[in-house]
Structure 1
């Protein structure tokens, strides 16, 4: 579909900052910093750090992504560039509000156990400072509003450290807490306790669940973690009781169409994608890119899939953006302003589209 059909402000709630890289930037920075890569030729490197040909599993997808992230880890300047370019790319697609999520420990090179990057002097706290500063400057330049969610990775023991950073930076650029990791086991007692602490501290909560794991993990996230949103959640549709629970709680699902295919989280036809059942069940969900770097596409590609393959209308996309805005982690006057701005813009957009359609009909 013509990109002009999506010429309206958009809201994204599920986008990994470290998955927003440009292949050319990865090649350039890796070569400059002396970081080993399969190749420094962007066209060759693309085969190793993107999922352009699809992946057999989510693990394979994440492995390709981890190769690229090495170009940014432990370097404040590289992280600043990652943020700046991510915002530029989102602004190009008219994203008005976005919540980038990331794990500071994965980009730091000291005060982290286990240490992922070669040792240096960039602490997780420093990473948050760099991201916040770069994000504020870039978002202001492009007329956007951007916030961050800090993400714990369950294969490491960083839950408490991530929570402490959420506490320190609450209201200072950070708006929520997330958890990601293998889904074959239930969330641990440590994760449950961390989420209870988040709730008591008024820290907003989302969690990866039901992407490749069972609906029972979504149920646990809603009941035990008291999440407000679910990252992905496709397998929720496998259990009507869990689907009804999510609907009753008005849990927002952060759906990522293209990503679900590239990671093999969903392998069926687009016409039967779980998002279709979310829509027919009147669930609270929105559309997101997840990882535009390895995906090699931005939100417009997801909108194309939604309208051309899944069967959504452009008006549906407007409704999904309003769902996302209502479920975002902004608070108070800022959130009210976002909602009012979008409603006003969308009302005009629908009115204009209706007039154009009527004019075409009159010529027939």
Structure 2
């Protein structure tokens, strides 16, 4: 089992006390257990009869049977706030508050606005009943909350919009990325179970729209699906980053493409255990090979609410299971900063700020090149 935290209020002030960048985190996977229980009660939504059963219903306490089994936990929780303005705002605020507490200074928070809507969306997936909250309204709520939290918690937050298989929202999602570009939307993602034959090309037209219009692109691929999904994402979706990508190691040619393009890989240690995306034996986790081969990758928490944990739990895995040093973690955060979806000026400033902060850790031996190279 991975390190776990039963209490999200654990004091991390003296552990991994340096600024962090996180690129792969789902808003609908960032919930607090207590919040979901409270929202369900407040809105009269029945989930489970007692706390023990509720934890099994919305969190993963043991390795799941499959990725769809894992995703069900998130879908069960989303019912409590989908279609509810206050609930969406609260989930957003608490997600950002938790990230700031973990020392994250730049966060790319991804979500599918269609999943939270109860109007102008087909099918209506999670909302309990029809209402007046369109996907655009969901985005307005999230964007407003993000701006409030940035000022309050001193963290920079941008958003990525997720298109989901098998739903036909890809092109609309792409156009929303363009429409809301000036409101902090920095990219598009394709996500969902990798079982469909056309994954990840289900959203190819939406990704092509984004490529033509200069909108950044990341794609879930090779998490539990074949290495070929990674190849398709890079060559046909023109994805700049890959979410997870663990199965690329099963195909030398695919792995070579990732190396050649220096494609950034968003590794999520704890979730890879629960989704069965990586081997159960931590010593065989793909991240160890990525590290040895100097792959461009970083660490993210993916869905910390499902694990009753935080980004710190993923750092614990990297250091205790794989032997990563603090210097290694610095390098991974710089990888993330260089591969983030900010504009060039802001990206360079973020990298520069991190280098300056990391150089202040005099008790850690830092190789000059790992901190000062661009």
Structures share a fold, TM > 0.5?
Answer: yes
Aligned residue number for residue 130 of structure 1: 141
Match of 1:342 in 2: 354
* Structure-1 separation of matches of 2:202 and 2:306: 31
Partner of 2:369 in structure 1?
Answer: none
1:122 Cα deviation (Å)? 0.3
Partner of 2:81 in structure 1? 72
- Return 74-83 or 305-314, whichever deviates more: 305-314
Counterpart contact for 2:194–2:200, Cα < 8 Å: no
Task: Give 2:121's aligned residue.
Answer: 112
Deviation at 1:333, TM superposition (A): 2.6
**Secondary structure in structure 1 of the residue aligned to 2:60:** coil
2:235 maps to 223
Tell whether the 8 Å contact from 1:272 to 1:310 is kept in structure 2 after alignment. no
Q: Deviations 1:240-280 (Å, cap 9, x if unpaired)?
A: 11111111111000000000001111133111110011111
1:325 equivalent in structure 2: 337
Which is richer in helix?
1
Q: Deviations over 1:284-321 (max 9, x none)?
A: 00000000110111011111110111221111111000
The answer to whether 1:9 aligns with 2:19 is yes
**In structure 2, how many angstroms separate the alpha carbons of the residues matched to 1:280 and 1:219?**
21
Q: Kindly state the Cα deviation for residue 332 of structure 1 after the two structures are TM-superposed.
A: 3.1
1:23·1:42 contact (CA, 8 Å) conserved in 2?
no
Please tell me the root mean square deviation across aligned C-alpha atoms, in Å.
Answer: 1.6
Report deviation, 1:54: 2.4
Query: 1:47: how far off?
Result: 1.7
Structure 2: stretches of 5+ with no match in the other structure: 4-10, 367-374
Contact 2:327–2:364 under 8 Å retained in 1: no
Q: Tell me, in whole angstroms, the C-alpha distance in 2 between the residues paired with 1:92 and 1:189.
A: 37
Moved segments of 4+, more than 6 Å: none
Taking the aligned partners of 1:151 and 1:315, their CA distance within structure 2 comes to 32
| Structure 1 match to 2:157 | 146
5+ residue gaps, structure 1: 356-364
Stretch of structure 1 that moved more, 252-261 or 191-200 = 191-200
Return the offset for 1:189: 5.5
Q: What is the number of equivalent residue pairs in this alignment?
A: 353
Task: Indicate which of 268, 278, 290 corresponds to 2:302.
Answer: 290
